[in-house]
Structure 1
Amino acid sequence: MDYLNALATNPKYHDVLTILKGFRNGVVYGAKVRFPHALVMTILFKTGSVQSKAKGILKATKQHALNLGKFATIYKTLMLVQKKLNGGKEASIHPFLAGIVGGYYVFGENNSINQQIILYLFSRVVLALVKVPVRKQIIEAPKNTYPVFAAVVWGLVMWLFRHETDTVQPSLRASMQYIYRDSDSWNSLKTLIWHNK
């Protein structure tokens, strides 16, 4: 055990061991995030036997965890390789290139887990990109930057839902259907107030 501890703390192996720890942390974080989400969504919305529900929860958790672990491994490996090829210095473009490769190979398959992760990231990226010009003092921040951003996002999603419904992500489309289209009709006080249909 002392030998393994000395190996783990040896600065000579630090860069390579960051890849191992990145994989570990990706898997752990993915499991922590996906398991409770899958559990709640399954309880609320899925039908079937307890066994099929449990399998679905475990499958979603495993996929999310392994995808984050694989991505971290690819990203950290490519960051290390690029740094070595660049004389031991990280260039500004390196994270972007490593992210593109990892994103393509790990999250390129169009499935529900990957869609949720990509949509989550996309929303955070767009929000961050809105802040970059202000932060870099390229433009002066108007008082209403965030309200304008919120207004444009809501305007776009409502237009897409109204005129290009099939392009909207299925779970968002379902919630919007419930709120905005199902509220257009009822046939009694019961279906107006207590029940949707």
Structure 2
Amino acid sequence: MSVQSTPIQIVQFLNDLYTCFDGIISQYDVYKVETVGDTYMVASGLPLSNGFHHAGEIASMSLALLKANDNFVIKHRPGEKVQLRIGMHSGPCVAGVIGIRMPRYCLFGDTVNTASRMESNGIPLKINCSQSAKDLLDHLGGYKLTERGYVEMKGKGRQMTYFVLSEDLDQRRIRLKKEHLKYPSLRRTAQATDTTSSQGSFDSTGNQN
């Protein structure tokens, strides 16, 4: 797209897309770490821990982003769709505010690198999920995944990967309502879910089942 667009069109497109994404992620217990070019990095479970729920928040947010992307219109190329690629991974990392003049909250560690590899080795309009993140989603319950298989990743070797397909919205709402007292960072998310929840589940194409 960048080759066929002017710089101003690219800036406007990214501003529109990221503004849309910003509105969506505000409904989840996630933290927007940074945007670099066309990469939008989000984390959950920090700076406040939310237990295993970080995997669920990222998966639910990702499904919501795909749903929004399906309806997103590129103003200067309305006949095209954004080929959104999402990767998710779970693991330990180091986080802290770095710098004085322009301080930033930064994440470091192998978990960050693996999440990046999950994204770069993903497939457009799919949520590429690592084994560790899949295990946590299975523990939480309410998420449907399918095995993608082993994928060779630079610096990581062969990694087993999965696609996140859908979630049970009611099961998530009940889980958050039960757990938000234990993890205060989930409180706002639980309230938002309580007001917007409807029966059924959303799949990765944005369809309600």
How does the TM-score come out when normalised to structure 2?
0.27
**Structure of larger gyration radius:** 1
> Which one has a larger percent helix, Structure 1 or Structure 2?
1
More strand by share: 2
